Amino acid sequence: MKRRTILKGGAALGFASMLGGKMSLAQGLEKVKAGFVYVGPIGDGGWTYQHHQGALAVQEAYGDKVEIVWQENVPEGADAERVLTQMALSGCNIIFTTSFGYMDPTNAVAAKFPDVKFEHATGFKREHPNVSTYNARFYEGRAVQGHIAGKMTKTNKIGYIGSFPIPEVIMGINSYYLHAKKVNPNVELSIVWAFTWFDPAKEADAAKALIDQGVDVIASHTDSTAPLAEAAKTNGAVIGFGQASDMADYKPSPRVSSIIDNWAPYYVKRVGALLDGSYAQADAWEGIAGGEVEIGEITDAVPADVKAEAEALRDSIAAGTYHPFTGPINKQDGSAWLAEGATAPDGDLLGMMFYVEGITGEIPS
Amino acid sequence: MDIGGINPAVLIASLMVASVPIILAAIGELVVEKAGVLNLGVEGMMIMGAITGFATAVATGNPYLGFLGGAIGGAGLSLVFGVLTQFLLANQVATGLALTLFGLGLSSLIGQGYVGIKPPLTENVPFGPLADIPFLGTVIFDHDWMVYVSIGVCAAVWAVLKYTRLGLILRAVGESHDAAHALGYKVVRIRMLAILFGGAMAGLGGAYISLIRVPQWTDGITAGAGWIALAIVVFASWKPWRVLLGAYLFGGITVLQLNLQAAGARIPVEYLSMSPYLITILVLVIMSSGKGKAALNAPAALGQNFHASR
């Protein structure tokens, strides 16, 4: 056979398979290849670990009909675009990008592969019909943590290790502070920005700096267990919370509770939708009620009454009777944000780039 | 006596702790480079030390054996580098970079079963009443033993390089391996020993991170400390005491910026975050513009492979 004929044949075959792919999409796919892009290592014990648990749940749920691939430690930025392109070229039907910083790369690559579905975690840009976003209402969990922090602090100084100044993190800080303040009017919040999602040594240093400043309850918004390891050195004087994952190894203290991100239901649902043909662009934002945010066991290091209050708070949020951002709430500069009884619209939260009244310091721009 | 809400004694104490891994890795690399070998695999050797040290400490329940395990792990990986570059004459830069990638992957593999385990606790050196001295007690007499080891190693390397025959031979090999060879010194053997020392020190530094500073194992736990150690060697213009100074400066500013944030200083965080790197660059410029000329201080045979046939 001549080379040209082979090429022609190949082109025809490719075209046919493209057509086939398109047609079968309407009625669902026979087999789905799902890609997962991680910002840290799976072994971080936190954020990425939980996403990977979700990926494994997809495999579990659909067995042979699903093939999962993943890549760890993908830097946010140009590298992400390369990894995404590679995944799309290698035949992934759906790609989950699991960090805020992948927002622009995800949309850029999605433009080039209209047949591939892209799902971006914690972002807000859906520039193309094949880009969906999903997020979890972590601030609901932060409210419970804030309540515990306000009750438990003896020095009236509580701390928060921020990763990057983005709405998702600022929302958490505000919710944490508001609920600590509600039960302890004297509480002061120190915020340290680590400017990293994952750097155990730096996260430990940040925790140490807070402890040196007299902080005795630390919440962290970075991915590793290092802040808890640092708090553990104080022999119970300082407590903290599991972030993203349960971090049960640090029970009963310093880890007194945790926010667990449970991505499995969402991942299973989306891949399932692709298999049965019901897939549609979405903007998902579930919280405690939807099971995406779970509050890890509150340990005995917390007094029984505080534990009961925290659990009541959790249940009222889950039931929808209480919204963590319920007015009156002023912004940091004293201007009004929410009127008495008003609850925060999702749009305000997703673009939240201000502290609430009472928090000192400025948000790095 | 707080300055801007920060207690200077506590600050100095924490910067000494934060700098230990960098000091150890950098002083090891300094000896390697003094022998004329450029090993860019510091990061890989550190993380190997971090996991082997962690695994040893967990298995034996003894943190001291853990550090020994870390040193052996780092030295083991450096042996790969040594064989490739000294006997098989592979390119040092490429081999070093490959070593880092290899170390990161291998450590992650070994570490699979160690996530979430807590290592045995390393106690602070008991100085008794000395630790209660105001200021000095916190700064000097309230640390784990590795802090003192890191300073001791700097002193020992300085003394050996400056005052002993061994130091002279090491420097001769690094300045001109042909001349050293002509004098009858075993160039390859000396370089292998220097590489092993560098690996052991990097491993020790890595073990410090996983056993004391962040007492846990997580993939990628060194997070670039090895690269900073490499920069510190150049920064120090291959002088042991300056390694200590450079590491304290770098560690100090990193700790200071976090403390300033925690204390609520009204300085934009961006400036604070970039300050360690900014000051490192600044000092590099100042040092290399002076009479000493940092660049001229580099070992003349740095990065060149040696073969006796030439």
Domains and CATH numbers, chain A: 28-136+263-286 (3.40.50.2300), 138-253+292-350 (3.40.50.2300)
Residue A17 is predicted with a pLDDT of 45
Q: Tell if the CB–CB gap between B218 and A45 is shorter than 8 Å.
A: yes
Residue A249 is predicted with a pLDDT of 84
DSSP state of B190: H
Q: Is residue B262 part of a domain?
A: no
CB-CB neighbors (< 8 A) of A158 in chain B: none
Give the model's confidence band at A174: pLDDT under 50 very low, under 70 low, under 90 confident, else very high. very high
Residue A14 is predicted with a pLDDT of 46
Distance of residue B270 Cα from the nearest chain A Cα, in angstroms: 7
3-state helix, strand, coil in chain A (%, to 5): 45, 20, 35
Containing H/E element for A157? strand A157-162
Select the residue from A49, A213, A225, A250 to test the B interface by mutation, using most B Cβ atoms within 10 A. A213
Residue of higher predicted confidence among A339 and B289: A339
Residue A312 is predicted with a pLDDT of 93
pLDDT in tens, B217-269: 888 888 888 988 998 888 888 999 989 998 998 888 888 888 888 887 767 76
Q: Is residue B22 part of a domain?
A: yes
Chain B residue with minimal CA distance to A195? B273
In terms of residue numbers, what domain contains B217? 8-234
Give the model's confidence band at A290: pLDDT under 50 very low, under 70 low, under 90 confident, else very high. confident
ipTM score assigned to the predicted complex: 0.77
Distance spanning both ends of chain B, measured CA to CA: 64
Distance of residue B153 Cα from the nearest chain A Cα, in angstroms: 22
Residue of higher predicted confidence among B201 and A12: B201
Select the residue from B210, B261, B267 to test the A interface by mutation, using most A Cβ atoms within 10 A. B261
pLDDT(A179) > 60:
yes
Rg (CA), chain A: 22
pLDDT(A11) > 60:
no
Q: Do A96 and A38 form a contact (C-beta atoms < 8 A)?
A: no
Return the structure tokens found at B98: 């490959």
CB-CB neighbors (< 8 A) of A365 in chain B: 270
pLDDT(A279) > 80:
yes
Nearest to A120 by CA among A135, A109, A108: A135
Q: Is A230 near chain B, with CB under 8 Å?
A: yes
Chain B residue with minimal CA distance to A360? B264
pLDDT(A6) > 70:
no
pLDDT(A22) > 80:
no
B8-34 vs B225-235: helix axis angle to the nearest 10? 80
Residue of higher predicted confidence among B65 and A22: B65
Query: Domains in chain B: how many in total?
Result: 1
Q: Is residue B243 part of a domain?
A: no
Residue A20 is predicted with a pLDDT of 41
Q: Is B123 near chain A, with CB under 8 Å?
A: no
Listed in sequence order, the residues at least 6 apart from A159 whose beta carbon sits closer than 8 Å to its beta carbon are A189, A190, A191, A192, A207, A210, A213, A215, A217, A218, A219, B262
CB-CB neighbors (< 8 A) of A192 in chain B: 258, 261-262
Alpha-carbon gap, residue A226 to A42, rounded angstroms: 15
Residue A13 is predicted with a pLDDT of 45
* Ramachandran class of A284: left when φ > 0, alpha when ψ lies in -120 to 50, beta otherwise: beta
**Ranges of chain B whose pLDDT falls below 70:** 1-5, 266, 269, 272-273, 284, 287-288, 290-296, 310
Give the model's confidence band at A12: pLDDT under 50 very low, under 70 low, under 90 confident, else very high. very low
Q: Tell if the CB–CB gap between A201 and B214 is shorter than 8 Å.
A: yes
Q: Tell if the CB–CB gap between B254 and A364 is shorter than 8 Å.
A: no
Distance of residue A13 Cα from the nearest chain B Cα, in angstroms: 39
pLDDT in tens, A225-250: 889 988 888 888 999 998 888 888 88
CB-CB neighbors (< 8 A) of B216 in chain A: 200, 225-226, 229
- Specify the length of chain B in residues: 310
Give the strand order in the sheet containing A283-286.
Answer: A66-71, A32-37, A94-97, A117-121, A131-136, A283-286
Question: Mean of the pLDDT values across residues A85-99?
Answer: 94
Q: Is A43 near chain B, with CB under 8 Å?
A: yes
Pairing state between β A157-162 and A188-193: parallel
Q: How many CB pairs under 8 A join A and B?
A: 120
pLDDT(A10) > 50:
no
Residue A245 is predicted with a pLDDT of 85
Residue A19 is predicted with a pLDDT of 42
Q: Is residue B301 part of a domain?
A: no
Q: Do A96 and A111 form a contact (C-beta atoms < 8 A)?
A: no
Distance of residue B1 Cα from the nearest chain A Cα, in angstroms: 14
Q: Tell if the CB–CB gap between B258 and A192 is shorter than 8 Å.
A: yes
CB-CB neighbors (< 8 A) of A73 in chain B: 220
Distance spanning both ends of chain A, measured CA to CA: 63
Distance of residue B116 Cα from the nearest chain A Cα, in angstroms: 6
Q: Is residue B3 part of a domain?
A: no
CB-CB neighbors (< 8 A) of B8 in chain A: none
pLDDT(A7) > 60:
no
Q: Tell if the CB–CB gap between A195 and B273 is shorter than 8 Å.
A: yes
pLDDT in tens, A305-326: 999 999 999 999 999 899 999 9
Q: Is residue B252 part of a domain?
A: no
Interface of A with B in 278-297 (CB under 8 A): none
Q: C-alpha distances in angstroms, A363 versus A60, A179, A335, B267?
A: 42, 20, 17, 11
- Give the best-scoring range by mean pLDDT among A3-12, A44-53, B119-128, B287-296: A44-53
Give the model's confidence band at A92: pLDDT under 50 very low, under 70 low, under 90 confident, else very high. very high
Select the residue from A48, A52, A170, A199 to test the B interface by mutation, using most B Cβ atoms within 10 A. A199
Q: Where are the alpha helices (DSSP H) in chain A?
A: 3-26, 47-62, 78-89, 103-112, 138-152, 167-183, 200-212, 226-232, 264-276, 304-319, 346-350
Return the structure tokens found at A135: 């997020």
Q: Tell if the CB–CB gap between B5 and A233 is shorter than 8 Å.
A: no
Q: Is residue B223 part of a domain?
A: yes
Portion of chain A with pLDDT greater than 90, in percent:
58
Q: Is residue B257 part of a domain?
A: no
| Minimum-distance CB partner of A45 among B14, B112, B116 | B116
Q: Tell if the CB–CB gap between A43 and B254 is shorter than 8 Å.
A: no
DSSP state of A101: G
